[in-house]
Structure 1
Amino acid sequence: MASSNQKVNKTTKRKRIPGSKTETDGSRSKMSKLVISKPSNHPEKGSKKPIKSFKKHQPAGFDEEKKVPSTNRDRRIHAKELTEARKKKRKRHYNLEQELVSLWERMRRHNIAKDNRSKLVTEALEKMKGKIPEIAGSHVSSRVLQTCVKYCSQEERNTVLEELRPQFLNLASNKYAVHFVKKMLDNASKGQLAGFISSLHGHVASLLRNKVGSVVIEHVYQLGNATQKQGLLLELYSTELQLFKGLVSMKESRLVDVISKLGLQKASVLRYMATVIHPIIEKEIVDHSIIHRVLTEYFSLADQSSVTDIIQHLAGPLLPRMIGTKDGARIGIMCVKHGNAKERKKIIKGMKGEIDKIAHNQYGCMVLVSIVSVVDDTKLITKIVIRETERKIKELALDKSGRRLVLQLLHPNCSRYFSPDDLASLNLSIPSLCIKSDTTTSSKSMKVEESSEKEHEKETKVMVAEASENTNLENNINPVEGGKKDPFVRRQELLVESGLAERLIDVCIESAGELLRSNFGREVIYEVATGGSDGILHPTLDDKLNALHEAIASLAALSKAEDSQEEHILENFHSSRTIRKLVLDCPNFASTLWGKALQGNSESWARGHSCKVISAFIESSDSKVRELAKYELQPLVDTGILKTQGQGKQQADE
């Protein structure tokens, strides 16, 4: 019975389902229920049909057996194919560009025959016909077009020009097409260039405000004649001149003359010019000569606050980019002269690392000359200008423009080394700022007590201002005192105390022959050997100067056979005249040269270019020099072997 009861209990007892809730499971978290109740993809035991795994919907035509590239080469090929496919979708003329590139690779070779190149150029132009404005903006196609325009015939070039003309302004602002436009301008005839310039009318100011478009305007400005240049400039002066052509002639080249002829209001002209100039300076588009010309005209009329604002914007790294042109250098000189100490410091610091490049420039060197002549902060000049000059002192001494900085310190404002135009540019000044300085000095010297006298002073100031407006900037050559320091003290600090003079003398000793034979270096070694203007190198560097005199005399003492590789310094055209000048102007050098090189050998040097050196001893104004050589040279003069300069003139007159 007991066993039967146990069987009944076993059968009636409910089976416990795994995961079902029991009394002990009450403390389970809800999260565990959720996890347990999640359906499983795995089929339960005893199920007849297995649950199918989820399959993503694949597009029609999908090849499941297609393999992904496994090697690096296959991956590169696959990536190239994808790139080509994307370019074909994105670029309308992609296939045409590929054909043009293949032609271009052949036509641009140097060893190709002219006939073959002409055929390739003609084929390329035929393929591009009707599509030039569209494909000119492409980096690749623009290069092809430049080569085609360079080598095509004039008729083909005219055809391209006519197709390009309607889209000229749009292409002028494209960063790739601008190179093709410049090439077209270079190969255009005078009539075609005039047509290009005519199409620019009314758009000069807007293109100058664009970094790419300004390049085209500058290129046209450089290619145009004086009348065409003036036409481009006039658009930047006034709205009336922008809208209408032919209002002024070439006689009215200055802005002051244009205003007086047309009766324009000065205030409206200056307002318009300010709207043109300020955006250009803010975008730092200051490299072009047309902008430099506009700024010089603006400086001649603008008031004090406007000019000061422009100087503040230009002081720094912008000004060194401008001083490579004639007008740009003049702006630089005026900014140095009229800028305050802070602005001058910015200008000089902006030139750091560029001194050598600026000094070799025909116009930029004059800005450096102005800095060493005006700025009182000699420590800053020494730190930047002088130190960079020392590293390249020999190259600068042998260069036509580079020598001017050194010569200005040795002999300031000398007409032998600076042309009248150079000296005039050093004395340029801004009228409105000159009026300010004049009125402040006069107000200090005069004490005005009555109101009537004050009114009279105001009237006179206005009259002076009006008179200055009609004065040409170039004729305003009254020097403006840029610094309070004595000029001689400034030169001594920059030349002697900085160590530049000592380094310069060492270079002259090492390269005396090369400098004497050079057309430009001879002027530097002459000024150094004589001690500079006002004897600035004496007495500090007397020992060094004596060593230089000895070095020159040693070269002169060499016989012709020993110096056969180069022309002897007594027979060379440049060196013989420089040594003659040293004999006449420097008695100390004359005695050294005579004692070491010429005494006892004067007869052998009494003919040719060297005779000018020998005759200088007789013509010298120093009695000691004349007495030194009189005993040996007078017999040569009496016998007619040696001719002095006075005898040569008498023979020429007879």
Structure 2
Amino acid sequence: MSSKGLKPTKRKGNETSENFDAKKSKKPKLVSSNSDKKHQEQPKFGKPKSFGDNNNNTGSLSSKERRIQAKELSEARKKRRKPHYTLEQELGTLWEKMRRRNIGKEERSKLLSEALQKMKGKIPEIAGSKVSSRVLQTCVKYGSKAEKEAVFKELQPHFLTLAENAYAVHLLTKMMDASKEELSACISSLRGKVASLLRQMVGSVVVEHAYHIGTAAQKQELLGELYSKELQLFKGLASTTEKSVVDIIKKLGLQKDAVVRRMTSIVQPILEKGIVDHTIIHKLLIEYLTIADKTSAEFVIQQLAGPLLNRIIHTRDGARVAILCIKHGSAKDRKKIIKAMKGHVGKWAFDQFGSMVLACIFSIVDDTKLVTKFIVRELEATLKDLVMEKCLQNGRKPLLQLLHPQCKRYFSPDDLASLDLSIPSLKELSETSSQTKDSDSKVSGEEAKDEPEEIDLEENAAVAGGKKDPLLRRQELLVNSGLAERLIDVCAENAEEFLKSNFGKDLMYEVAVGGSDGILCPSLSEKLSELYEAITSVAAELKPEETEKNSEHVLEYVHLCRTIRRLVLECPAFASTLFKNALSGKCRSWARGLCAKILSAFLETKDLQVREMAKKELQVLVNEGALKILGTEKPE
């Protein structure tokens, strides 16, 4: 056989003999021995080498000497990195002396002058430093008018740059507080940059401070930039006396769509970044919701539903925004809002505006189990403090809203206006949905079966408020939750304290009469009887002698006399208990002074049994002229 006809033999792995021989002929790699590895230099990581002629000397230094050497190295680096480092060190030393409270005015004035002399011409460069900013704040606070003006003159061209610095912000706010002229100049420097600064965590602080201490015209000027570019460019337009954005659009003839787009471009990034703590932003939001379309309004509600809402409730406009979110939000949005209030309910109950947000929740949210779990339970723990809160009497508002909703006696016109607010675009949608629902109810069963339409109505039902009957909602929140029973117990336990207080009388009255529509009477009549016994036991105490000083019977308190009279006229069960336990056989001694009005109420009441019960004893006093009944004819 010839060699040409032979085929190369196959090896393992489908390798030919030629490939195998080629592999075999490769030289092995040289591997260093273990002894060679030991002599190779290994990279050394750890402490940096110290600078000096001999690096080996650091090992012989003590720990104290090493710390000193490290400090010197750190100082050298800072001097290279900060051009004014030495100056800042000197200013820091002066500041520690001038900021003391026990220092004299003359000595502080000398230190201020020395510090300003060192900083002269360099103030804009060092104002953003932590130390220098504090020194300048002290100079602005305690310096003379000329010294303040000198600092302001150097900083004014760099105002916008400093407004974005975390340390210089505090200096700028101090300068705005210094004088009205400097405040006006600062606001002028902000022209055209208000919207961009509000989108920043630091810059928004400067705008907020200017808005907070500014005049009405200055506030309107700052807000005008957020409404339209025309108001941003032309100062005369921004100084309009019109307050709401709707009035400004009508007066200046602005295009509503352009204003909405402008405000949307500002509001959206602010909400996404969570910069919602400032009052100017709360005002911007409430104005935006008055002109926003359905999609934009829903975006605002969805962004605020949750923890963000807790950060805006403390202001008037912020609370109104929260009420609108609760009123027009979906069931999912309301659930987020209520859950986010966990742990904050007590705080908001005592707040002037937060209390109205809680009242709104009690009036609108249909998920009473959720409200009971997260809000009612927290209120129960502080019922006495809520009733006796003496500052602005805010704590009682949520409770009074449940007992007597939107009563003009307990809620101011501004409070009632807040509860009646609505978003126009979503209100129109809710009205359309309700009309569709009413028309569908008239159609036969087969024509009314349209599942997608029913789902939309349920989703939009939140727009118009709650779907549940208000009386049923109050029943579940007050009676079924146990809040009313606990409230009656607190009133009975502290009857004397509440009666003598000008702050607890209104709540005591509403609980005693059983609330509006008698919501407490059917199921808690026994508990109410115990409350009547507690009140009458206080009233049955002996009347103090005229010789006793600083002694006044509970029925002789002016505010309480009126409350007891109202109870006698409106609550026959209480009137009967009071007459039997406290007044029967003692009417002659009480027929003078303020208490005479209480006695006359027994003859003026519409309840025949109460009138007949008291008539026998009181008629004698009326005939003798000892008791007068005002505004009514003498009973026969």
Same fold per TM (> 0.5)? Answer: yes
One-letter code of the match for 1:268? A
One-letter code of the match for 2:378? E
Q: Which moved more, 1:126-135 or 1:178-187?
A: 126-135
How far off its partner does 1:628 sit? 3.4
How far off its partner does 1:254 sit? 2.4
How far off its partner does 1:179 sit? 1.4
How far off its partner does 1:78 sit? 5.0
One-letter code of the match for 1:485? K
Secondary structure of the structure 1 residue equivalent to 2:602: helix
- Identify the residue that residue 613 of structure 2 maps to in structure 1: 628
Structure 1, unaligned runs of 5 or more: 1-28, 42-56, 448-478, 648-654
1:411 and 2:404 aligned: yes
1:380 and 2:365 aligned: no
**Cα deviation code 1:48-71 (max 9, x no counterpart):** xxxxxxxxx998743865665545
- Identify the residue that residue 230 of structure 1 maps to in structure 2: 220
Q: Which moved more, 1:372-381 or 1:158-167?
A: 158-167
1:99–1:34 Cα change, 3 Å: closer
One-letter code of the match for 1:586? C
CA distance in 2, matches of 1:422, 1:590: 33
How far off its partner does 1:636 sit? 4.7
One-letter code of the match for 2:89? Q
Secondary structure of the structure 2 residue equivalent to 1:112: coil
- Identify the residue that residue 170 of structure 2 maps to in structure 1: 179
- Identify the residue that residue 133 of structure 2 maps to in structure 1: 142
One-letter code of the match for 2:185? G
Secondary structure of the structure 1 residue equivalent to 2:510: helix
CA distance in 2, matches of 1:172, 1:567: 61
Structure 2, unaligned runs of 5 or more: 1-27, 41-48, 441-461
- Identify the residue that residue 391 of structure 1 maps to in structure 2: 381
- Identify the residue that residue 421 of structure 2 maps to in structure 1: 428
- Identify the residue that residue 394 of structure 2 maps to in structure 1: 401
Secondary structure of the structure 2 residue equivalent to 1:246: helix
Q: 1:582 aligns with which of 550, 564, 567?
A: 567
Secondary structure of the structure 2 residue equivalent to 1:252: coil
1:320 and 2:310 aligned: yes
One-letter code of the match for 2:350? H
**Cα deviation code 1:482-538 (max 9, x no counterpart):** 122111111011111111111111111222223223333221111111111111111
How far off its partner does 1:40 sit? 9.6
1:508 and 2:500 aligned: no
How far off its partner does 1:568 sit? 3.9
How far off its partner does 1:379 sit? 0.9
**Cα deviation code 1:424-459 (max 9, x no counterpart):** 221211111122223334445569xxxxxxxxxxxx
Alignment: residue pair count: 571
- Identify the residue that residue 351 of structure 2 maps to in structure 1: 361
1:440 and 2:433 aligned: yes
CA distance in 2, matches of 1:525, 1:296: 36
How far off its partner does 1:137 sit? 1.7
Secondary structure of the structure 2 residue equivalent to 1:235: helix
Given that 1:248 and 1:258 are in contact with CA atoms closer than 8 Å, whether structure 2 keeps it comes out as no
1:628–1:76 Cα change, 3 Å: farther
CA distance in 2, matches of 1:488, 1:137: 60
One-letter code of the match for 1:583? V
| TM-score, L = length of structure 2 | 0.82
- Identify the residue that residue 598 of structure 1 maps to in structure 2: 583
How far off its partner does 1:315 sit? 1.2
CA distance in 1, matches of 2:555, 2:498: 14
Q: Which moved more, 1:557-566 or 1:213-222?
A: 557-566
- Identify the residue that residue 475 of structure 1 maps to in structure 2: none
Rg larger for: 1
Q: 1:62 aligns with which of 51, 54, 57?
A: 54
1:58–1:131 Cα change, 3 Å: closer
Q: 2:474 aligns with which of 491, 495, 501?
A: 491
CA distance in 2, matches of 1:622, 1:39: 111
CA distance in 2, matches of 1:548, 1:355: 27
- Identify the residue that residue 234 of structure 2 maps to in structure 1: 244
Secondary structure of the structure 2 residue equivalent to 1:202: coil
Given that 2:532 and 2:577 are in contact with CA atoms closer than 8 Å, whether structure 1 keeps it comes out as yes
- Identify the residue that residue 458 of structure 1 maps to in structure 2: none
1:152 and 2:135 aligned: no
One-letter code of the match for 2:54? F
CA distance in 2, matches of 1:91, 1:437: 62
Secondary structure of the structure 1 residue equivalent to 2:107: helix
**Cα deviation code 1:544-578 (max 9, x no counterpart):** 11111111122222346699998542233333332
Aligned ranges for residues 12-27 of structure 1 at < 5 Å?
none
Aligned ranges for residues 19-98 of structure 1 at < 5 Å?
34=33, 61-62=53-54, 68-70=60-62, 77=68, 79-98=70-89
Q: Which moved more, 1:145-154 or 1:602-611?
A: 602-611
One-letter code of the match for 1:599? S
Identity within the alignment, %: 59
**Cα deviation code 1:102-143 (max 9, x no counterpart):** 333333333333333333333333333333323222223323
CA distance in 1, matches of 2:581, 2:358: 40
How far off its partner does 1:155 sit? 2.6
Secondary structure of the structure 2 residue equivalent to 1:349: helix
Secondary structure of the structure 2 residue equivalent to 1:429: coil
CA distance in 2, matches of 1:38, 1:502: 86
Secondary structure of the structure 2 residue equivalent to 1:380: helix
One-letter code of the match for 2:486? R
Aligned ranges for residues 262-273 of structure 1 at < 5 Å?
262-273=252-263
CA distance in 1, matches of 2:135, 2:192: 31
Given that 2:488 and 2:528 are in contact with CA atoms closer than 8 Å, whether structure 1 keeps it comes out as yes
One-letter code of the match for 1:286? V
**Cα deviation code 1:409-436 (max 9, x no counterpart):** 1111111111222222212111111222
CA distance in 1, matches of 2:375, 2:587: 45
